[in-house]
A and B are shown apart, each in its own frame.
Chain A
Amino acid sequence: MSKRNDNESEAGTEKLDGKPIRLLIVDDETDFLNAIARRLKMRGFDVVTADNGQTAIEIARKQKFELALLDLKMPGMNGKQVLEILKSEHRFVEVVILTGHGSLESAVECTKLGAFGYLPKPYELDDLIEILKDAYTVRMKKKFEADEDRLKNILSLATGGSALGILRALKKLDTPEK
């Protein structure tokens, strides 16, 4: 049953909007990390892995990601802490929580902290991809709206007429938002 679904979904998920989705996966279970990374790569995701929270935050500072998959229970920094830092440092990153813990309380808590979704382990890959796609769509929409606001802002600056305003608008266009 799931095989058919896999096959169906495979074609459409190789690429979204022409370019691969950049995804950061954080989990302390390395066997799990390797397997899921490989499978998502096969489905067109651009995957980077980290086996602890500290590494994940460092990687995120160097590379851009649209999405992140986070485990909650990890030695060292736990999932919630990583989630908070990621959300504060990268406004448009959407985070999906992937955990074996699976209690309602932690799900609610993570949502409050800004997680897009919450998926208990083990899961069907299709469900994960579905959530990732949704997360990506939301992320793009937010980004688009933010860009639009920015453009309007720039436009209003530019249409203000002064040379200084035009200069400022040009400068803002040059520095892309995180």
Chain B
Amino acid sequence: MTNAGSNSGNTTDGGDGHYRNLLLTTLLRLLLIYFLPVVLLAAFFHIQHRHLIRDTRLAHLQSIAEHQAYTLDLFLRERIINLENVIDDPRLNVPPTNIELQRHLDNLRKTSDTFVDLGWFNAAGDLIAYAGPHPDLESRNYGLEAWFLALRGSAKQRIITDTYMGFREQPHFTIAVNRVIDDRYVVLRAVLSPERIEEYVATLQHPERISTALLSEDGMVQVISGKEIKVSTPSPLKPPRHPSIGSDITKRNGSDVFYAWTWLKTTSWVLLVEGEDPSAAAALISGGYATVIIIIGGILLIELLLIVHRARQVVRHKRKTDKQEADLSGQLVQAAKLATVGELAAGIAHEINNPLAIIAEETGLVRDLMDPSFGNALSDEELRNHLDIIHDATFRARDITRKLLGFVRQEKVILAQHDVCKILDGVLDGMLGRELELSNIRVVRDYSPHLPEITTDRHQLEQVFLNIVKNAIDAMENEGTLTVHTSSIHSRVIISISDTGVGMTREQVDKAFLPFFTTKEVGKGTGLGLSVSYGIIKGLRGQISVDSELGRGSMFTIELPLELVSSKPERSHGGKTS
């Protein structure tokens, strides 16, 4: 009951905005429900995929690094063994002659063309014998060269130097072995061309996307694939010493750089393999991506369209049910109105029958006066007088039917600024005016002089006042005082209507707003008036309550807001709930 009433209030001020909001929220909800899991799942798989690609990539680079480091180790070890074979050759004179060395160099070059030259040093670092392209180097002293000092100063029997320029001013590196032959410390040294090593370093697969470099312990580039060798250039990447084999990802110029390293076993060089972000590369190579995107986009579009369609359907359905509900509550209010009219019927009949009786009597009288058998002559003046009375009576009756129709006619809810006191006066002087007078009820109007106007529906409020005042009249039987009081507190208008009638018991007060509850005799009241009034007041965002004492009278209090904001009606607190 009360729900129906408040709903009718909602729908009247709801409008299109309300449904647009509903459509948006429904859409959002559906999108979240349908797309969120898909997006999350996609994101999860994407991340998994990326990780997989990265791991694969790193493993790939790692294997290249390991493989090449192994190859390089093998190569360097071979070169040292070559050199050791020469120095340990029992046929070799100590010290050898240049020719001897040349012959050995020629032999070495047959195994590996990386050998540039051979040199034989004594303990002081003097170059005793030499074979190679720089004969001018002969008789130079290498005693203070870093590699020589390193070899001389340690217990090691072999050394592999970093690349350096040296006396010949060309990048080269040196391998050297030492021996003590016949109590004499001798060193055999070979210069190797780094260009040759580059061939070992360069990879076979995708050389454009994978670069390989050989770095010294302090991070200087020794050899780099596909690039001109720049000795002693610091490498931007410096792999850690431990672990000796590893891989990682770093950022350079905003993009990921994948790299793997392996430290050589023969010398403290590290082999560094670098590659680009594989997903970026993958994006470049797969031209099929476009079709995939089109297909996925198409599916998403279809799903989106379906969702929009579904949301619209939901809103349309809601709109329909709202309308039905509003219609229903409208019908209920209308039924209650008619019921009120039924209760008013006897009073209304009286008000119409009285003027009709006057008309009947006046017309009869005029006819009598015109009848010669009564012998009375009717003057024009007198006739006019009687006609005036008939006229007045006719319009008295018309006013009553008009008031009745004005009340019964189903009016649309029209919200406008109204003075509550004027609406009260309309009820007290209009439809119920004569009944109040005939029932000897004194009406005390205690109106606040500064009552603000409120935004409300006049007809609905009229109906509420009518119900309450009519109940008051019935409660007071044949005399009493009806006090109507208005005031305003905190942007709310308070109307109280109290009577000096029979009043109600506690139980009756509790049930006063329940539908079909009536204290009147069977057939006199429908019990709808107050329950509908309750619904109307709730719909107008107000509150209605009753206070009553048996034998003393009842007081109805209505509270209405000044503005009818289009928010949900507040929950009733206190007063009656039904």
Whether B374 contacts A42 by the Cβ 8 Å rule is: yes
The answer to whether the Cβ of B351 comes within 8 Å of any Cβ in the partner chain is yes
Q: Which residue of chain B lies nearest to A36 when distances are taken between CB atoms in the complex?
A: B361
Count class of interface residues, chain A: 20 to 34
A102 to B353, CA, bound (A): 9
A122 to B353, CA, bound (A): 6
A123 to B389, CA, bound (A): 18
Residues of A within 8 A of B365 (CB): 35, 38-39
Residues of B within 8 A of A99 (CB): 350, 353
Whether A32 contacts B361 by the Cβ 8 Å rule is: yes
Interface set, chain B 321-378, CB cutoff 8 A to A: 346, 349-354, 356-362, 364-365, 367-368, 371, 373-374, 376
Tell which of A32, A74, A122 touches B438, judged by Cβ atoms closer than 8 Å.
A74
Taken residue by residue from 4 to 40, chain A's Cβ proximity to chain B (1 for < 8 Å, 0 otherwise) reads as 0011001000000000000000000101100110110
Residues of B within 8 A of A38 (CB): 365, 368
Whether B438 contacts A100 by the Cβ 8 Å rule is: no
Tell which of A10, A35, A76, A101 touches B364, judged by Cβ atoms closer than 8 Å.
A35
Residues of A within 8 A of B359 (CB): 122
Residues of A within 8 A of B356 (CB): 100, 121-122
Taken residue by residue from 51 to 93, chain A's Cβ proximity to chain B (1 for < 8 Å, 0 otherwise) reads as 0000000000000000000000111101000000000000000
Whether A75 contacts B357 by the Cβ 8 Å rule is: no
Tell which of B354, B361, B376, B440 touches A35, judged by Cβ atoms closer than 8 Å.
B361
Residues of A within 8 A of B358 (CB): 29, 31-32, 35
Tell which of A31, A35, A36, A100 touches B350, judged by Cβ atoms closer than 8 Å.
A100
The answer to whether the Cβ of B566 comes within 8 Å of any Cβ in the partner chain is no
Q: Which residue of chain B lies nearest to A99 when distances are taken between CB atoms in the complex?
A: B350
Closest CB of chain A to B119's CB: distance in Å?
Answer: 144
Tell which of B350, B367, B438, B478 touches A102, judged by Cβ atoms closer than 8 Å.
B350
Decide: A123 near B350, CB < 8 A? Known: A39-B368, A42-B368: no
The answer to whether the Cβ of B437 comes within 8 Å of any Cβ in the partner chain is yes
Residues of B within 8 A of A42 (CB): 368, 374, 376
Tell which of B368, B376, B386, B440 touches A76, judged by Cβ atoms closer than 8 Å.
B440
Closest CB of chain A to B370's CB: distance in Å?
Answer: 11
The answer to whether the Cβ of B466 comes within 8 Å of any Cβ in the partner chain is no
Count class of interface residues, chain B: 20 to 34
Closest CB of chain B to A49's CB: distance in Å?
Answer: 13
Residues of A within 8 A of B386 (CB): 35
Residues of A within 8 A of B478 (CB): 78
Tell which of A6, A39, A99, A125 has the most Cβ of chain B within 10 Å: A39
Q: Which residue of chain B lies nearest to A3 when distances are taken between CB atoms in the complex?
A: B367
A35 to B357, CA, bound (A): 10
Taken residue by residue from 451 to 490, chain B's Cβ proximity to chain A (1 for < 8 Å, 0 otherwise) reads as 0000000000000000000000000001000000000000
Closest CB of chain B to A60's CB: distance in Å?
Answer: 21
Tell which of B362, B371, B376 touches A31, judged by Cβ atoms closer than 8 Å.
B362
Residues of B within 8 A of A121 (CB): 353-354, 356-357
The answer to whether the Cβ of A120 comes within 8 Å of any Cβ in the partner chain is yes
The answer to whether the Cβ of A103 comes within 8 Å of any Cβ in the partner chain is yes
Q: Which residue of chain A lies nearest to B392 when distances are taken between CB atoms in the complex?
A: A31
Q: Which residue of chain B lies nearest to A35 when distances are taken between CB atoms in the complex?
A: B361
Interface set, chain B 358-408, CB cutoff 8 A to A: 358-362, 364-365, 367-368, 371, 373-374, 376, 386, 389, 392-393
Tell which of B354, B364, B368 touches A29, judged by Cβ atoms closer than 8 Å.
B354
Closest CB of chain B to A32's CB: distance in Å?
Answer: 5
Closest CB of chain A to B92's CB: distance in Å?
Answer: 151
Whether B362 contacts A100 by the Cβ 8 Å rule is: no
A28 to B93, CA, bound (A): 164
Closest CB of chain B to A77's CB: distance in Å?
Answer: 9
Q: Which residue of chain A lies nearest to B367 when distances are taken between CB atoms in the complex?
A: A3
Whether B360 contacts A73 by the Cβ 8 Å rule is: no
Residues of B within 8 A of A120 (CB): 353
Residues of A within 8 A of B364 (CB): 6, 35, 39, 125
Whether A32 contacts B357 by the Cβ 8 Å rule is: yes
A51 to B496, CA, bound (A): 35
Q: Which residue of chain A lies nearest to B438 when distances are taken between CB atoms in the complex?
A: A73
Closest CB of chain B to A58's CB: distance in Å?
Answer: 19
Whether A123 contacts B357 by the Cβ 8 Å rule is: yes
Residues of B within 8 A of A74 (CB): 438
Whether A100 contacts B354 by the Cβ 8 Å rule is: yes
Q: Which residue of chain A lies nearest to B359 when distances are taken between CB atoms in the complex?
A: A122
Interface set, chain A 37-51, CB cutoff 8 A to B: 38-39, 42
A6 to B392, CA, bound (A): 26
Closest CB of chain A to B76's CB: distance in Å?
Answer: 128
Residues of A within 8 A of B352 (CB): 100
A10 to B375, CA, bound (A): 13
A75 to B433, CA, bound (A): 12
A107 to B376, CA, bound (A): 37
Tell which of B349, B360, B367 has the most Cβ of chain A within 10 Å: B360
Whether B349 contacts A100 by the Cβ 8 Å rule is: yes
A78 to B479, CA, bound (A): 11
Whether B373 contacts A100 by the Cβ 8 Å rule is: no
Tell which of B358, B367, B371 has the most Cβ of chain A within 10 Å: B358
Closest CB of chain B to A88's CB: distance in Å?
Answer: 19
Taken residue by residue from 108 to 137, chain A's Cβ proximity to chain B (1 for < 8 Å, 0 otherwise) reads as 000000000000111101000000000000
Tell which of B357, B371, B440 touches A100, judged by Cβ atoms closer than 8 Å.
B357
A35 to B355, CA, bound (A): 12
A3 to B393, CA, bound (A): 22
Tell which of A6, A31, A32, A101 touches B346, judged by Cβ atoms closer than 8 Å.
A101
Closest CB of chain B to A123's CB: distance in Å?
Answer: 7
Can you report 10 residue pairs joining A to B where beta carbons are below 8 Å apart?
A29-B354, A32-B357, A38-B365, A42-B374, A73-B350, A75-B437, A78-B440, A99-B350, A100-B350, A122-B353
Spell out B's residues near A (CB within 8 Å): 346, 349-354, 356-362, 364-365, 367-368, 371, 373-374, 376, 386, 389, 392-393, 437-438, 440, 478
Which 8 pairs across A and B sit closest by C-beta, in order of nearness?
A: A100-B353, A121-B357, A35-B361, A122-B360, A122-B357, A100-B350, A100-B354, A122-B356
Spell out A's residues near B (CB within 8 Å): 3, 6-7, 10, 29, 31-32, 35-36, 38-39, 42, 73-76, 78, 99-103, 120-123, 125
